[in-house]
Amino acid sequence: MLHDPHTTSSVNDCRLITLNKNHHENGNLSVIEGGMQVPFDINRVYYLYDVPGDAERGGHSHRELQQFIVAISGCFDVVLDDGVEQRRITLNRPYKGLLITQGIWRVLDNFSSGAVCMVAASLHYDEEDYVRDYDTFLRLTASKRQPK
């Protein structure tokens, strides 16, 4: 069986990355390139918008896919969960993004009015890569909670 990152991934493997902000008097420019600012090739980009403030998005983990999430406009929170520890990170700058590694449960919430969430993903969409049930996620991460 292939290695399952749910057994080893930690919320501490996820990190904020500050993109270069190229300032111009007629507007700023930030760039995201696969293998450069993010440590993976980008195979898919999508964005969330018009999310009601009381709604949640995400609510899953991935077996292999990595993501880089940026608040292009407005702000929202990302709750990271590795089965042992949770972290809440607020994204509110278009030049700061959050790298989420494999095996981490994520929930996006607390969307401000007009928020736009852009996600760069390491893989094309594959439903088999998703773990969408939290109880299944907890079973996959159970070895992290075993006494050593």
Q: What is the dihedral of CA 107, 102, 61, 117, to 10 degrees?
A: 40
In angstroms, rounded to a whole number, what is the distance separating the alpha carbons of residues 120 and 34?
9
Asked if 105 and 82 count as a contact pair (C-beta separation under 8 A), the reply is: yes
**Owning domain of residue 66:** 5-145
* CATH number of the domain where residue 12 is located: 2.60.120.10
- Number of other residues whose CB lies within 10 A of the CB of residue 77: 16
pLDDT tens by residue, 79-130:
999 999 999 999 999 999 999 999 999 999 999 999 999 999 999 999 999 9
Of the candidates 3, 6, 23, 60, the residue annotated as catalytic is: 60
- Model confidence at 5, in pLDDT bands (50, 70, 90)? confident
Number of domains in the chain: 1
* Residue 60 designated active-site: yes
